[in-house]
Structure 1
Amino acid sequence: MDYVELRVQAPQELADILVAELAEVGFNTFEDNDEGFCAYIDEDQFSPDDVAEIMARYQGQGELQFEDRIITRQNWNAEWEKNFEPLVIADRVSVRAPFHAARPDLAHEIVIMPRMSFGTGHHDTTALMLTNQLDVNHQGQRVLDMGCGTGILAVMAAQLGAQSVLAVDVEPWTAENAADNARENNVQGTVEARLGDISALDGEEPFDIILANINRNVLLDDMPAYARYLRPGGPILFSGFYEEDLAQIRAAAEQAGFVYESHRVQNHWVSAIFRQPA
């Protein structure tokens, strides 16, 4: 299935509000840019009427323009190859495509072929999650990466010494892409890519670490399940939401039994670490 990309030009304070509104009608991935942001949704979930209604409510509150277009599987490669630049995160992690030069001077190198999946490290949430992962002991751990996208966090977990990583996503091409990227980084023996939502974990034993970079609504809905699937004492890393949503995420996490530890903020996006009590 193809994506719809909604390109929005709006001032920052209005853009933050619009992202929250669009998330409520099914948009699940957002990328900031100098003029506003891009929002993405599966084509079969896209409602032009919902978008028009949201935008109409905020006309007159600053310069606001928007347009949508279909991004097909065929042209997605051209889109990311045209714009994908190599990236260094926390001065320790190189994220690049196969056609970029290697960075042997850095501790970790992740090679990503995004295809139609999201998660190259360029979005603030992915960069924040990678940075937080560097502070978590993965050695010998069994890791779950929910909403894995390209599998970049799963690859990072494997490079940090995880014994096994289960990478789960609801989109068939995303699960395929995560598996391909595991092979690209020579961690296919550690990373298993699986198609599905939270129900794909049925029968699984609790994990030592959970990584969940999805979006606010999915995190809130699945919070009780995360609590079931994380062993006592284990950390869970969240991202995919704005700074103003942290209080709601924290309340739901604490209601599920998690204990807040820390969070990082980058361009209003957040990655937070909680822990299951021992």
Structure 2
Amino acid sequence: MGTNEDLYAVPDDTAVVLVRDAMDRTTADLPPLPDLVGAARAQGRRRKARVRFAIGGGALAVAALGVAGAVALPVDNDKQKSSGVINVAAPPSSPSTTPQPPVHITPSPGETSMAHLPPAERAKQEDFQNRAVPVLQSLLPPTVGTVQRTDLNVRMYHGTKDGKTFTIMFSVRPSGPGTNPKPCLEVKGQVCKKTVLPGGIQAHAGTAPINNGNVTETRLSFHYGRSDVSLSISPHDESNTSAPVTNDQILELAKAPAFLDLVKAADADPVEKEQKTAPAS
């Protein structure tokens, strides 16, 4: 008679089949398992998208800070060269437009200065001078130097270059009988040139020898509206230096809109008295 082990012994292949059948019967009534792989893949994609979004947002924030820092921080050329980063400096502030004080000129005996004018009239003339200075400075050639107004009269300005002072006379004066500017004549060494300004106005320029004849003065004249307009640049007598402005240069100045705007303003609201002429005897 065999042992208990012999009773329960089953061939290997048969045991495998029995176990598999039992598992199939046990799980037959259970619902199918969800697609874990698909869900995991979808979750992974969402997580990856969130990471990319976070990285992109951080990059934008860093870029914004970089731009702000480039504008706010001063430029260091040495650091730029070593790092390869170029900062954009903030634009410089505009230069001060505060009018400069005038050049003081002591009046000659019997002459009066702007200091003797009524306060309102003096303020009006000084305002015109302060508007004229930057226009003359920008339109006259650099050889004239730094342009400044004077406190002697509204017509007088100075140009200073290399220690030499050139007197500039700029006048917009109401016309009086017989005071219209005369055409330039090439007499006594004077060299003339003319041009036509906007509105058909004819302007004359002349370079003429003065004093001992070794130096020249440059002059401009024309009639505008109800006024006679003149501009002259005198030589520097002490050094025998002629006025550093040519006829062509002064005629180009006369065509400039900024200069004509000054003329127009003074013609509409004069800063000088009407010129009087003495009757012929």
Q: TM-score, normalized by length of structure 2?
A: 0.25
Q: TM-score, normalized by length of structure 1?
A: 0.25
Structure holding more helix per residue: 2
Structure holding more strand per residue: 1
Which protein is bigger by CA-based radius of gyration?
A: 2
